[in-house]
Amino acid sequence: MKSILFREIQSFFGSLIGYLVIAVFLLLNGLFLWVFQGDFNILDNSFADLTPFFTLAPWVLIFLIPAVTMRSFSDEMKQGTIELLLTKPLSVWQIVNGKFFGAFLLIIIALLPTLIYVYVIYGLTSPPTVIDSGSIIGSYFGLLFLIAGYTAIGIFTSILTENQIVAFILAVFLCFLLYFGMEGLASQFSPYNDFVASLGMDYHFKSISRGVLDTRDIIYFLSVAILFLSLTVFKLKSLKN
């Protein structure tokens, strides 16, 4: 698995992809949080808070992560190297996990510089103002779980087609459906609206963002990631056979 992981990271930073992903993520967040006037601008708010960042980041990642993962297996199938990959002395799970963790680590690298925002927020405040550190830590943990879910979905859609654009669109659609769509559908199922809403990522992301790591939220995100990785393994095994 390590060989696949390192190959993925090397391919990301061996081209413009890795640098472009990091630059786009930081640029978009930076512009909306510090430059453009609006609801997301931290400086326009009456108090220093990172809530705008944690509201904006999931939407940026809905497009950014599929852009990273769309080539994972699609490119292998298009170039005909998928057969060579399957002949390596690795299990199908190791191949899929290598692809998954390669993309996951790239997004984490893009996320790390945003810790500067935390430093800036503390610098903007003065006693007796108290920053909710638990909420900030919880929100970062929530982003990690959200990234894992998005990445697993992106890896899955990349195995469905050799067309990277189609894989990208499918991943964006599924990520949007699971993040925001369930909340919209919940209003259509009034007797079960809480249950339907709980099937969405936004519901559990907001729960973790409160600063309390509930095992139900962790199990939800792990289940989503494992489900889509399992579907990827199933599809890859069918190609192998």
12-44 pLDDT, tens digit each: 888 888 888 889 999 998 888 888 887 788 777
Residue 162 per-residue DSSP state: S
pLDDT at 225 over 60: yes
pLDDT at 65 over 80: yes
* Segments forming the whole domain that contains residue 163: 2-240
Describe the chain by its helix, strand, coil percentages, rounded to 5: 80, 0, 20
Residue 84 or 105, more confident? 105
Q: What is the mean pLDDT of the chain?
A: 87
pLDDT category of residue 127 using cuts at 50, 70 and 90:
low
Q: How large is the greatest C-alpha to C-alpha distance in the chain, in angstroms?
A: 65
Q: Which run of H or E residues covers position 222?
A: helix 215-240
List b or e across 94-119, with b for residues whose CB sees 16 or more CB atoms inside 10 angstroms: bbbbbbbbbbbebbebbbeebeebbe
pLDDT at 158 over 90: yes
Number of domains composing the chain: 1
Q: What confidence score (pLDDT) does residue 183 get? A: 79
Q: What confidence score (pLDDT) does residue 185 get? A: 78
Question: Per-residue pLDDT averaged across 182-207, rounded?
Answer: 82
pLDDT category of residue 56 using cuts at 50, 70 and 90:
very high
**Least confident interval from 61-70, 160-169, 183-192, 206-215:** 183-192
Convert the pLDDT of each residue in 68-78 to its tens digit: 999 889 988 88
Q: What confidence score (pLDDT) does residue 106 get? A: 92
Tell which residue, 222, 235, 224, 111, has the closest CA to residue 177: 224
Q: What confidence score (pLDDT) does residue 223 get? A: 95
Q: What confidence score (pLDDT) does residue 241 get? A: 67
Q: Crossing angle, helix 2-14 and helix 17-30, to 10 degrees? A: 70
